[in-house]
Structure 1
Amino acid sequence: MEWYQPVIVFCVAFVVTYCMVPVSKRIAKALGAIDYPGNRRVNRQPIPRCGGIALYAGMAAACFMVLVGVRCLGWTFEDYYVLEGIDYPLLFVGVTFVFTVGLVDDVTQLSALVKLAGQIMGAVIIVAAGVSIGGVRSIIEGNYVALGWVDWPLTVAYLVVFINITNLIDGLDGLAAGLIAIVSTAFLYLVWVRGSYLLMFACIALIACCLAFLRFNFFPASIFMGDSGSHLLGLLVGIVSVVGVVRTQGFVVMLVPLVIAGVPAIDTVSAFIRRLRGHQSPGRADMGHVHHRLMRAGLSQKRAVAVLWLSSAALAFVGCMMVGLSGPTRWSLFGVLAVVIFFVIWRFGLFRPVLKHHYDNRDKRGPRLPRDQR
């Protein structure tokens, strides 16, 4: 692989995403996909969502660039970790399906169950395309163990988890896009170590799309990525995680992607437990997320986002270190990390009962209006 190839892919993804953001704004306004200030929202003026359209266009352009480079420009690269048995057209269909589910939700506000069903269907298509965990190495003997019939449901659940942890953390200007860029950078290192250049292109394109989108999404945001963007980014990170890190690895290394994505992962688990304790639906929105708690502690949006970005970068660094370590050292690092996470959960009270806030105008089309304007 020549040095200019990833540079070209990065530039294509960045430029296309950057140029498509204004188009996404116009589409959102035409469809009525607007986030109005309300009980649970931190924005103080109407902001169009559907920014996922720009992210989707940027990723599609990057994929097309790689295809043109291989077939027309003579690009060649040795993939030491070959992605065998993957049906790329079907994979594209699955990714597009999940993106579409998020886009429909941006416009029509789907119920939690309908949205979850759409996520599962999209994940099933992707697993049918050949993206699956396949097997892991035994903790005791180190032998490769095929997952058998558990492979499909486990991979589907894994992908759906990544979709939702990205969706739930998208609560402050620039937070989700920055976290995905950090997570993708860590994954870029991991797939580079394994020698998978195709996955390197995917990570580079993800980073480029997120950075371009941050130009418009960082505080004060002029557009939100919406569920279309969070679904797309979460799914793509999940796919890279499954194919580039989890597949054929040991049990502890399987946990590395969740360590790298630790900030949104912890927030998602705490939200699920909070809502069950509060006798709320797990899909019901609330104001108990970690970014909300940081703001209630007195931090501004910018500072809260910076704290979570730094925390994510630290976890990403630890996750990358865990791959390079083995034996007692790896387990010791994992134990220290568990203690730190427990302290953070206790300090911020992430498992307190859910607050009584929810989306207004639930299951209705058009803009989300505050209760006093209904």
Structure 2
Amino acid sequence: MSQAPLYLNAFLLTVVLIVLFRDIASRAGFVDRPDQERKRHQGDVPLVGGLAMFPAFVVASIFLAPDLRAPLGVMAGLGALVVVGAIDDRFGLRAGVRLTAQTGAALLMIWPIAPSVDWFAGTPAEVLALAAFAGAPLALVFVVGLANAFNMMDGLDGLAGGAAASALFWLALTAMAMGREDAIVAALPLLFSVLGFLVFNLRHRWRAKASVFMGDAGSLMLGAAVAYFSLSLANGGERVVSMGPLLWICALPAIETLSLIVRRLRAGRSPMAGDRRHLHHLLVDAGMSPRSAAATLIVACGTLGALGYMAAILGVDDLAIFVGLALVAALHSLVVWKAPAWIALQLAKPDGAGALQAARSISDRLAGPASGLSAAIVSPAETEEAR
């Protein structure tokens, strides 16, 4: 039987829940408020995206055949992340508490499969068995790390949702190419839930700015889900590909997070401290409109995902795959290390602000007609919509 109606239901239920939740959230104060430092959006925005996507995903999954659903432990772990993220969104939690809760949720998700994940192509079963004790901590770090990577990437309208949709799409396509129907069917309800959220969060011709955000509840859940579905494709006797190609599918969020951690530690700051040194902030500060910057990074995620998919189906050697990832990381590092100095140099010039405004105008024209409207709402000097 076709699963298409279930996917459509996941999309529609997400839309309906967001419409229901956003007014309640506004009255209850469950909103993201601008602070003019990092959060420069206009007005209070309801943080209900994650609270709508997860129930829609669960409801759609319930109607799948039992052997096609995501395991109960995965659902429990993702649900725990939604709850922890929602509490953090509303009240704020200390970094240690957040990390402990995320670790517990990740353990629920990965414990049955973590020891047998094939991190390198062709790893013999005997080696996998010997490496079980090392594989579990590595899988745990991967899930917690990617959950936080998507959380850190949630800084522009549509960016984290677009990156998650791209990753889930390429994971499902890889599973399809490799004959893993269970992985395809389990991931697609979440993909369609994300698409329902993007109706309200992604800037387009009929929406100048996001009307809801996903919040930590959504970004942590999506990052962990992408990590789990990646691990499941490289798991034990059912593995169809090693982790090498799959890392390309989530490469940009992962590389961006590792880079941020290194830069913050070098500056003597906590890795969990917020700032405007994210790649998406640097692109906006360099003159791109928020819409153009988000679109550029979503396309980059999609391109990297396509390369990972091609590497998987063509059987590219893992050494070449990891060398390629290192080159992508080097290019990212070059951009983020040089961009702040370039922006400061431009602003120091007499016509520097004009040059950045011209760059924004060009990026708006390249991104399409909707950007002109967003640029009219968001001045180059203030970038109010760049959260």
Structure having the higher helix fraction is 2
Deviations 1:251-296 (A, max 9, x none): x931323211111111101110111011111111110000001101
Structure-2 residue corresponding to 1:152: 136
Which segment is superposed worse, 254-263 or 264-273? 254-263
Are residues 336 and 15 of structure 1, via their aligned partners in 2, closer, same or farther at CA, if it must alter by over 3 Å? same
Match of 2:86 among 85, 91, 103: 103
Amino acid at match of 1:23: L
Structure-2 residue corresponding to 1:267: 256
Partners of 2:177 and 2:115 in 1: CA distance: 19
Partners of 1:170 and 1:234 in 2: CA distance: 11
Where do 5+ consecutive residues of structure 1 fail to align? 71-76, 354-374
Q: Structure 1 residue 348 and structure 2 residue 316: aligned?
A: no
Structure-2 residue corresponding to 1:210: 194
Partners of 2:196 and 2:305 in 1: CA distance: 21
> Percent of pairs identical after alignment?
29
Are residues 16 and 135 of structure 1, via their aligned partners in 2, closer, same or farther at CA, if it must alter by over 3 Å? closer
Amino acid at match of 1:218: L
Deviations 1:310-345 (A, max 9, x none): 1111100111111123466x6446534533441232
Q: Contact 2:283 / 2:293 at 8 angstroms: preserved in 1?
A: yes
Aligned pair count reads 332
Are residues 16 and 327 of structure 1, via their aligned partners in 2, closer, same or farther at CA, if it must alter by over 3 Å? closer
Deviations 1:109-149 (A, max 9, x none): 11111111110011122234x2425143766x752222222
Q: Structure 1 residue 143 and structure 2 residue 124: aligned?
A: yes
Are residues 126 and 350 of structure 1, via their aligned partners in 2, closer, same or farther at CA, if it must alter by over 3 Å? farther
Q: Contact 2:58 / 2:75 at 8 angstroms: preserved in 1?
A: no
Structure-1 residue corresponding to 2:98: 115
Are residues 331 and 35 of structure 1, via their aligned partners in 2, closer, same or farther at CA, if it must alter by over 3 Å? same
Are residues 324 and 133 of structure 1, via their aligned partners in 2, closer, same or farther at CA, if it must alter by over 3 Å? farther
Structure-1 residue corresponding to 2:155: 171
Amino acid at match of 1:44: Q
Q: CA deviation at 1:27?
A: 3.8
Structure-2 residue corresponding to 1:10: 7
Deviations 1:222-251 (A, max 9, x none): 11000000111111111111112355699x
Structure-2 residue corresponding to 1:48: 46
Which segment is superposed worse, 11-20 or 118-127? 118-127
Q: CA deviation at 1:159?
A: 1.0
Q: TM-score, normalised by structure 1?
A: 0.81
Amino acid at match of 1:314: T
Deviations 1:137-164 (A, max 9, x none): 766x752222222233222212111211
Partners of 2:186 and 2:72 in 1: CA distance: 16
Structure-1 residue corresponding to 2:272: 283
Are residues 117 and 31 of structure 1, via their aligned partners in 2, closer, same or farther at CA, if it must alter by over 3 Å? farther
Where do 5+ consecutive residues of structure 2 fail to align? 204-208, 342-387
Q: Contact 2:246 / 2:309 at 8 angstroms: preserved in 1?
A: no
Are residues 248 and 277 of structure 1, via their aligned partners in 2, closer, same or farther at CA, if it must alter by over 3 Å? farther
Are residues 236 and 327 of structure 1, via their aligned partners in 2, closer, same or farther at CA, if it must alter by over 3 Å? closer
Q: What is the RMSD of the two structures over their aligned residues, measured on CA atoms?
A: 2.7
Per the alignment, in what secondary structure is the counterpart of residue 39 of structure 2? coil
